[in-house]
Chain A
C-alpha cells in the first residue's frame, strides 16, 4: 500500500517534470541578439518592432514582452547610472526608453524600481499598477510587475495589500 503510494508519487513527480520540460521550449525562446538586459528576468519572446503597428491583441494569445534593442540599451545605461548613484540621469534615460516604447510593461517596471530607489513609493506603486495592466497575458512580466507593486505597497506601509498581490495566481 505504502509502496504503491510511493510509486504513484514518483510517477506523478516524473510526469510533472516532463510536463514542465515539454512546456519549456515554448516559454524560453532563444533570445534575439543584442536584446539581453542583465538582470532582466523575462527577456526573449515576441519582438515588439517599434513604430510598426503592434500585432493584434484584441484577444491576446499568451504573450511575452521584451525590450527592443534600442530600449534595452537605454535600460542598461540607466542601470549603470543607478549603480553610480546618478538617479536623475537614470530617470532621464528611462524617459527616452519610454518615448520609444511607451506601452512596454518592462520599461514601466524599470521606472518603478527607480522610483523605489528614489524613495517615491507612491509613484512606484503607479508604475507597478500600470506595468501589471500592460502585462496582461504575460505571466513572467506580471510576476515582475507584481513584485514591484508589492514592494511599493510595503514601502508605503500597506503590508496587507502587498500580501494580497503576492497571493495572485501570476505570482
Chain B
C-alpha cells in the first residue's frame, strides 16, 4: 500500500520533471531562435554612409586661407609634414601643402595626392599638383554627415572590425569584462567576484554582467532587474556565444552600447559616440578620449561629460590608470592624458538630423527598397556644411533674441529654414527647429502652415503673363466684400488703411491685401491656382477667394519649391538632396540628375523678380538691407498669417534661394510679422553665406524704366524723390509725370544703371 503510493508519487514526480525539462528545453530553443534571428538581422544591417558635398577648390573660389584651414581641420587633416603621411598638411602663411587621403567620390576613387594651394584673405589664388603643374580644380574629401538605415531610418555610425582601434578593443574588455575571451557568455567567477565586492562595500559597485549579457540586454530585454529577466539574459547570452564568434559579438557590442543622450536622440555605439563627443572618427581618438568613452559605459548620464565634467574626468583618469596597470599604455602616457582637458567638441554643429531626414525621404521616394537593403552603400548629398552651419546659427540667435523680447512667457518660438541653389535645385541646408542637434519634429518638412502673403507673387505673375499688366499698371486698393456661403468676406489691409489707385509694383512691395484680392478676382482664381501649380505646388489649393491672401497651407519645403522657380527665371528645378547612391564597390546604383523644365515665361518672371527686389528696398522687406553686405540686391516676399500666427520670408540672392518660417508649435499668436520674425533669420543666413547680388540676365523682350513708386507715372530721379526702376516689356506705353518726360533718357536696354543716370544727366544739361 505504502509502496504503491510511493511508486505513484515517484511516477508523478518524474512526469513533472519531464514536463518541466521539456518546457525548459522549448524555452531555450525559443530563445535560441530569437537570438539567432535577431542578431543576424542586426549584424548584417550596415547602414549607408551619408556624405556632404565636397568643397571644390579652384582659383577664384571664395575660400580664404583661414576658411581653408578650418575646412581641413574639419576633415581631420593634421598639421605636420605632408611628405610623411596622408591626412597631413603644412601651412606657410597663405600657402598650403596637403597630402590628400585616398577618397571615394560618387564618380571616382581618388588615390592619395600631394597638392599645393595658395589662398589670400578672400579666395583661392592657385592650385598646383606635386610636379608643379597647375590644377584647374581640386575637391576636398566629402565630409561624412551621418549614416542612415535607409529602410528603418535609425542613425548610427557602424564600425566594422577593422575600424576598432586596438586600445578600445583591449580597453573595453579590461574595464567591463576581463574574462571575455574565456567565458561562454556568462562568467560565474566574475559574478562571484562582483557579489563579493558588492557585499563588502554594502552596495552595488560592480556589475557581474559579461559584454555578451550587456549586449543581450540592449538588444532584446527591458531594463527591469528581476530574477526572471536575469535568467533569460544568461540563457540568451550562452546561446549567442554558441552561434557567433567572439569577434562578432565584440563588434556588435561596440556598435550597440548606449553612450548618452542628445535630446531625444540616443547615442548608441562608439562610432557615433566618438562623433558626438569629439567630432572625430574613432581611429583618430587619443588614449584619454578612448578612456573617457570606455568609462562612460558604466553610467552615461551619471558621467555625462557635458553635465558633470568633474565626474567624467575622475572616471576617465581611473580608466587611464587601469589601462596603464594592464600595460595597454605606458604610465607616462596615462599621466599626460590624465592632465589633459576632456577635449569635447562644442555642442551642436556636425549632426544634421533635419537634413538626414530629407535624405531618407528622397531615398525612399526614388529608390527601390531592395536596392537600399544592400550593405555598405554610400549616399552623396548636396549638403553644404558651411551653409548648414550659417542657417543653424542664424535661426538659433534670432529665436533667442525674439524670445527675450517677447511678452509671451513660458513658450519658445520655433522656426525652420531651407536653403537651396536655384539653378540645380540642390538643397544645401535644412534646419527643422531651434534645437538643431535633435531628431525631433522637422518643421522644415512637416510644419504645414498658411503662407500668408508669400502667395502674392503668384497673383502678380499671373497678371504679368496676360500681357495686360506691367509693374507700373495702376490697380485699385479699395474695400472688397464678397458673400461666401451666406457669410460676408471682407478682407483688410494689415494697417487697416486704404491706398486707392497704386502701381502694381508698390501694391506687391507693400503687400496690399485689398489691391491683391481685386487683382486676383479679376484674373480668376483658377488662373492663379494654375500659376502656383506650374511653379511647383503639387496639391491643388481650394479655389476660395482667401487663397489670394495665402490661406493655403504649405510646408517650408513646398514653399521653396515654388520660390526656386521664381529665382530660376521661370524654370522649375526639381529639389535635390541626393546626388548619387554608390554600392560597396563604387558602382553607382542610380544617380540623380539635374532636372529643369520651363514653368513660366522668362520675361514675365523677370519682371516679377524685379518687383520683388523692390520689396526689400522700398517695401515690407526693407529691413533686409541692414543685415546684408552693403549694396547686395535681393528679391523676396514677407508673409504673415492671420493674427500673426506664422511669420514667413521667402526670397533669393544671386547664389541661393531660401525660406524661413517662425512661429509657435501650438499655433498661438506671435505678434511677429514676416518682416520682424522670419526676415532677420533669412537675411542673417544669406549674409553669412557671402551671397552674390541677384542680378539675373535680362530677357531681350524687356527694358528698364523709371516710375514714381507712389503714382506709377514715368519719371526721372530728379523729378520724383520716390523714383524706382522697374522692368517692363520693351516699348511699353507708360503715362508720364507732367514735365518729367524721360523721353530721350529712356534707358537703352543695353546700358548699365550708371549709363542711364549719365544719359539722364546729359539730358538735363542740354
Write the residues of chain A forming the contact surface with B, with a CB cutoff of 8 angstroms.
Answer: 34, 49-54, 56-62, 68-70, 72-74, 88-89, 91-93, 95-96, 98-100, 102-103, 111, 115, 123, 126-127, 129-130, 133-137
Q: How many inter-chain residue pairs (CB < 8 Å) link A and B?
A: 145
**Taking A58-B704, A130-B596 as contacts, is the C-beta distance between A136 and B698 under 8 angstroms?**
yes
Name which residue of chain A comes closest to B601, CB basis. Answer: A133
Provide the bound-state CA to CA distance between A136 and B139, in Å: 32
Chain B 578-605 interface 0/1 with A at a Cβ cutoff of 8 Å (1 = within): 0110000000100101111110001000
Assess the A95–B594 pair: CB atoms within 8 A: yes
In Å, the complex CA distance between A56 and B753 comes to: 8
Query: Are B423 and A68 in contact (CB-based, < 8 A)?
Result: no
- In the complex, are the beta carbons of B697 and A136 less than 8 A apart? yes
Among the listed B61, B137, B755, which residue makes an inter-chain contact with A96, where contact means beta carbons less than 8 Å apart?
Answer: B137
State whether the Cβ of B59 lies closer than 8 Å to any Cβ in chain A: yes
> Which B547-580 residues have a C-beta within 8 angstroms of A?
569-571, 579-580
Q: Which of B414-459 contact A (CB under 8 A)?
A: 421-424, 426
Contacts of A54 in B (CB 8 A): 654, 692-693, 695
Contact present for B695 and A59 (CB under 8 Å): no
B699–A95 contact, CB under 8 A? no
What would 10 A/B residue contacts be, using CB atoms closer than 8 Å?
A: A53-B654, A54-B654, A56-B695, A59-B750, A59-B756, A68-B60, A73-B137, A91-B591, A136-B699, A137-B698
Closest residue of chain B to A49 (Cβ to Cβ) is B60
Residue tally, chain B, CB below 8 Å to A: 55
A59 to B704, CA, bound (A): 7
Residues of B near A53 (CB, < 8 A) are 654, 692-693, 695
CA distance A61 to B753 in the complex (A): 11
For A102, what are the chain B residues with a Cβ–Cβ distance below 8 Å? 421-424
**Is B369 an interface residue, CB under 8 A from the partner?**
no
B594, B749, B755, B756: residue with the most chain A Cβ atoms closer than 10 Å: B594
- Please give, as numbers and ranges, the residues of chain B lying within 8 Å of A56 by CB-CB distance: 695, 752-753
Complexed CA–CA distance, A96 and B110 (Å)? 15
Give min CB distance, A162 to chain B, whole Å: 16
Expressed in whole angstroms, the minimum distance between the Cβ of B751 and any Cβ of chain A is 5
Whether B698 lies near A60 (C-beta < 8 A) is yes
CB-CB under 8 A from B106, the residues of chain A are 92
Residues on the A chain within 8 Å of B137, using CB:
69-70, 73-74, 96, 100
Beta-carbon contact of B598 and A69 below 8 Å: no
> Do residues A62 and B750 form an inter-chain contact, with CB atoms below 8 A?
yes
- Which residues of chain B are within 8 angstroms of A129 by Cβ–Cβ distance? 571, 596, 598
Q: How far is the CA of A136 from the CA of B701 in the complex (A)?
A: 10
Which of B59, B748, B753 gathers most chain A CB within 10 Å?
B59
The residue in chain A whose Cβ has the minimal distance to the Cβ of B136 is: A73
Those 6 A-B pairs whose CB atoms lie nearest each other, nearest first: A70-B58, A73-B136, A92-B107, A102-B423, A51-B62, A70-B137
Question: In the complex the two chains form, what is the Cα distance from A34 to B276 in whole Å?
Answer: 45
Partner of B136, one of A58, A70, A99, A103: A70
Contact B136 A133 (CB under 8 A): no
Q: Give the chain A neighbours of B580 by CB distance below 8 A.
A: 92
For the complex, give the distance between the alpha carbons of A123 and B594 in Å: 9
CA distance A78 to B693 in the complex (A): 30
- CB of A59 within 8 A of CB of B595, answer no
Taken together as a complex, chains A and B put the C-alpha atoms of A104 and B569 apart, in Å, by: 13
Decide: B698 and A59 in contact? CB cutoff 8 A.
yes
6 new A-B contacts at CB < 8 Å, known A58-B698, A103-B423, A126-B597: A34-B134, A49-B60, A61-B750, A98-B423, A99-B421, A126-B596
- Chain A CB within 8 A of B696 CB: yes
Closest to B605 in A: A133
Q: A61-B752, A133-B571, A137-B700 are in contact. Are A52 and B594 (CB under 8 A)?
A: no
Asked whether B60 lies within 8 Å of A57 as measured between CB atoms, the reply is no
Which residues from 170 to 212 on chain B have a C-beta closer than 8 Å to any C-beta of chain A?
A: none
A68 contact set on B, CB distance < 8 A:
58, 60
Is residue B538 within 8 Å, beta carbon to beta carbon, of the partner chain? no
Does B658 have its Cβ within 8 Å of any Cβ on chain A? Answer: no
**Do A70 and B654 form a contact, CB below 8 Å, given A56-B752, A59-B749, A137-B700?**
no
* Interfacial chain A residues near B569, Cβ < 8 Å: 130, 133-134
B107 touches A123 (CB 8 A): no
Tell me the minimal C-beta distance from B3 to chain A in angstroms: 88
**In whole Å, how far is A92's beta carbon from the nearest beta carbon of chain B?**
4
Option from B107, B749, B753 in Cβ contact (under 8 Å) with A88: B107
CB-based contact A137/B56 at 8 Å: no
From A52, A73, A99, residue with most partner B Cβ within 10 Å: A99
**B588: A residues at CB distance < 8 A:** 88
Q: Which residues of B contact A58 (CB under 8 A)?
A: 695, 698, 704, 725, 752-753
B69 proximal to A (CB < 8 A): no
* Residues in B583-640 with C-beta less than 8 Å from chain A: 588, 591, 593-598, 602
Do B579 and A70 touch (CB < 8 A)? no
Q: Could you tell me the distance between the alpha carbons of A34 and B135 in the complex, rounded to whole angstroms?
A: 11
CA distance A52 to B422 in the complex (A): 17
Considering the chains assembled together, what is the distance between the CA atoms of A92 and B580 in angstroms?
9
Q: Is the beta-carbon distance between B60 and A99 smaller than 8 angstroms? A: no
Q: Which residues of A lie under 8 Å from residue B213 when comparing CB positions?
A: none
Nearest-CB distance from A91 to chain B (Å)? 6
When chains A and B are docked, how far (Å) is the Cα of A91 from the Cα of B53? Answer: 16
- Nearest opposing residue in chain B for A135, CB measure: B697
| A interface footprint on B393-414 (CB within 8 Å = 1, 0 otherwise) | 0000000000000000000000
Known: A68-B58, A133-B697. A99 touches B424 (CB 8 A): yes
B753 and chain A: residue at smallest CB distance: A58
Q: Which B residues are in CB contact (< 8 Å) with A133?
A: 569-571, 602, 697, 699
Q: Is the CB of B423 within 8 A of A51?
A: no
Minimal Cβ-Cβ distance residue in A for B690: A51
Q: Encode B54-95 as 1/0 by CB contact (under 8 A) with A.
A: 001011111000000000000000000000000000000000
A88 adjacent to B58 (CB under 8 Å): no
Cross-chain contact B107 with A89 (CB below 8 angstroms): yes
Per the bound structure, the CA–CA distance linking A160 and B342 in Å amounts to 72
* B40 to A: closest C-beta gap in Å: 34
A100 touches B58 (CB 8 A): yes
B107 nearest CB neighbor, chain A only:
A92
Please name all residues of chain A whose beta carbon is closer than 8 Å to the beta carbon of B595 when the two chains form the complex. Answer: 123, 126
Question: For the complex, what is the distance from the CA of A51 to the CA of B56, rounded to whole Å?
Answer: 12
Which chain A positions have C-beta within 8 A of B748?
59
Please give, as numbers and ranges, the residues of chain B lying within 8 Å of A134 by CB-CB distance. Answer: 569, 697
- Residue contact B426 to A99, C-beta cutoff 8 Å: yes
Question: Contact check: which of B60, B695, B696, B697 meets A51 at CB < 8 Å?
Answer: B60
